[in-house]
Amino acid sequence: MIRTVPTKPYADQKPGTSGLRKKVPVFQQEHYAENFIQSIFDALDGYKGKTLVIGGDGRFYNREVIQKAIAMAAANGFGKVMVGQGGILSTPAASHVIRKYKTFGGIILSASHNPGGPHEDFGIKYNAGNGGPAPEKLTDAIFAKTKAISSFKTSDIDPIDIDTIGTVKAAGMTVEIIDPVTDYAELMESLFDFDALRKLFKSGFRMRFDAMHAVTGPYAKEILENRLGAPNGTCRNFKPLPDFGGHHPDPNLVHAKHLYDEMMGPDAPDFGAASDGDGDRNLIIGKGIFVTPSDSVAMLAANARLAPGYKDGLKGIARSMPTSGAADRVAEKLGIGIYETPTGWKFFGNLLDAGMATICGEESAGTGSNHVREKDGLWAVLLWLNILAARGESCKQVVTEHWATYGRNYYSRHDYEEVESERANALVDELRAKLGSLPGTSVNGLKIANADDFAYHDPVDGSTSEHQGIRILFEGGSRVVFRLSGTGTSGATLRVYIERYEPDKARHDLDTQAALADLIAAADDIAGIKSHTGRNKPSVIT
């Protein structure tokens, strides 16, 4: 039943910020998915007889690759696989299943917020036994294996019925099809005050959750409507579709504009939220107020003690470097550690495992805690709800009070998508070359205090990760950060992150883009964004 199949390496299987992402037709090339899966196994040690979790976000090609992964896991000697029913497991739910059942690791099939469909994106990532994304050391080892692979192992088994919960045997391996929602819902129930949330909804609190036809639909339906009694209709677009209904499952102000418009409208519900393709991101919009993800991390951390799961306080906060400094002020006030990591959740794992951080967050709408080792969209939504219930205040009140206490970090990210790679690389190379000469000079009336290429020294394992984003730091604490995306699948995406701290309460209700206008202009002066990219405005502003 077990076969060794000769294959040839593909040169382009380098995992990015979060796994390997390519267009579906790339993944459909002969042995492309098999090569990558075998390379994952080849980079691991000691999994014989152990359990592997397999699931995905339900996008186009998910079911096919799940069958391949099962057949290959059996041939490679895993003792058991646990597969989400219908091939579904959100990223945080997969992380939880790995941890709860102490499995060896897991394979998650997702390209997250990228669009899905026959000509759109697909992805594969590996999570280790702690439930977190493979650290850089492992993704480097996987990449090395993909370049040298000459064969893979698979087994000739009939396709597994992944839609029926239960246990079967395949080529000597146990295949357990599990309910993807139950374990996760129980975990949420253990962290948050579900009684208080039930009361909140009973009192007439209105909420809108948009699952964007991605993986969180079944989770949100079960938790918000079934367990917490939110009215039917609270969850929208809750049926996972292979093409996400033709939209980008990216919960930002462009792709979830309908939600934003509703929340700013005259009959807005009290609270609005959305999640992304694989359920690890969150968009939070209160009635009449959008909560910038960087602010959300800070506000959740500042109020976390109000939820039962965090009643003893936090050990520390970690944020990715481009994320605003709002969380730093909270950590300072709480007297706990603050850690600044490169972009991507894989860098938080060590801090969480070592008990140095409890809450982590990224400006890209990712927030999470030590309950799993991934960012977690619904977790953030439930923590927000728990805080609102405990404080008896609106989202807008919580936000404005936070600013009054800590000051406001005006923050925006400008993305230039699908720029020709050579042009984007030229911009970065030029910028890097002049970093040393920038400090002390002024641009657009702003004096540059420092400029560097961010390097991270992991305090737990001592590893170093270089070239993680170019920072231009101005006198007074404002800054602009430039980096290229590691999740795109065509051309290059330039991300420009802009931040200004405003302590003055009288200046907390400015329009964000207006409050950052001089920094935005300075960013263009310094990096030549318009001339390099040939664009006169960003594709997405968040």
Active-site residue set: 112
Residue 511, Cβ density class (10 Å: 0-12 exposed, 13-18 middle, ≥19 buried): exposed
Contact 275, 380 (CB under 8 A): no
**The one among 495, 497, 499, 520 contacting ligand VG1 by CB under 6 A:** 495
Amino acid at 208: R
Binding mask 273-312 for Co ion (x = CB under 5 A): ---x-x-xx-------------------------------
Q: Which stretch binds ligand VG1 (CB under 6 A): 65-73, 175-183, 298-306, 342-350?
A: 342-350
- As measured in angstroms, the least distance from the Cβ of 114 to ligand VG1 is 7
Closest approach of ligand VG1 to the CB of residue 508, in Å: 26
Cβ neighbors of 347 (< 8 A, separation 6 or more) are: 320, 341, 456, 458, 465
Residue 410: in which H helix or E strand, if any? strand 408-419
Residue 180, binding choice from ligand VG1, Co ion, none, Cβ under 5 to 8 Å by partner class = none
Asked if 216 touches ligand VG1 (CB under 6 A), the answer is: no
CA-CA distance, 369 to 436, in Å (whole number)? 37
If binding means CB under 6 A, how many residues of this protein chain bind ligand VG1? 18
| Backbone φ, ψ for residue 537 (5° rounding) | -155, 160
380-419 residues near ligand VG1, rule: CB under 6 A: none
Interacting residues with ligand VG1 between 239 and 298 (CB under 6 A): 276, 280-281
Least distance between Co ion and beta carbon 250 (Å): 9
Q: Does 364 bind ligand VG1 (CB under 6 A)?
A: yes
Name the residue nearer to ligand VG1 (CB basis): 92 or 309. Answer: 92
Of 386, 468, 478, 487, which lies in the binding site for ligand VG1, with binding defined by CB under 6 A?
487
Q: Give whichever of 281 and 479 is closer to ligand VG1, judged by the CB atom.
A: 281
Q: Are 436 and 328 in contact (CB under 8 A)?
A: no
Looking at beta carbons, which residue is closest to ligand VG1? 112
Task: Report how far residue 43's alpha carbon sits from residue 65's, in angstroms, rounded to the nearest whole number.
Answer: 19
308 burial (CB, 10 Å; 0-12 / 13-18 / 19+) is middle
Q: For residues 76 and 294, which CB has a smaller minimum distance to ligand VG1 in the complex?
A: 294
Tell me the C-alpha distance between 497 and 542, whole Å. Answer: 10
Among 13, 95, 112, 154, binds Co ion (CB under 5 A): 112
The token pair at 133 is 């994304």
| CB nearer to ligand VG1: pick between 154 and 275 | 275
What does 495 bind: ligand VG1, Co ion, none (CB cut-off 5 to 8 Å by kind)?
Answer: ligand VG1
d(CA 338, CA 340): 7
Smallest separation (angstroms) from ligand VG1 to the CB of 170: 30
Question: Strands 173-178, 80-88: parallel, antiparallel or unpaired by DSSP?
Answer: parallel
- Please choose which of Co ion, ligand VG1, none residue 294 contacts, taking the beta carbon within 5 to 8 angstroms, the exact cut-off set by kind: none
The CB-of-59 to ligand VG1 minimum distance in angstroms stands at: 12
Burial of 537 (0-12, 13-18, 19+ CB in 10 A): exposed
Give me 445's structure tokens: 């009336």
Beta carbon of residue 112, minimum distance to ligand VG1 (angstroms, whole number): 3
Question: What whole-number distance in Å separates Cα of residue 291 and Cα of residue 281?
Answer: 14
Q: Which does 345 bind (CB under 5 to 8 A by kind): Co ion, ligand VG1, none?
A: ligand VG1
* Residue 487 interacting partner from Co ion, ligand VG1, none (CB closer than 5 to 8 Å by kind): ligand VG1
Answer for the pair 300, 293: CB distance below 8 angstroms, yes or no: no
CB of 499 vs ligand VG1, minimal distance in Å: 15
**Identity of the residue numbered 330:** V
Q: Does 542 bind ligand VG1 (CB under 6 A)?
A: no
DSSP character string of 1-57: -EEEEE----TT---BTTBEEEEHHHHTSTTHHHHHHHHHHHH--S-TT-EEEEEE-
For residue 247, the minimal CB distance to ligand VG1 (Å) is 15
Q: Where along the sequence are the contacts to ligand VG1 (CB under 6 A)?
A: 17-18, 112-113, 276, 280-281, 320, 343-345, 362, 364, 366, 485-487, 495
Q: Where along the sequence are the contacts to Co ion (CB under 5 A)?
A: 112, 276, 278, 280-281
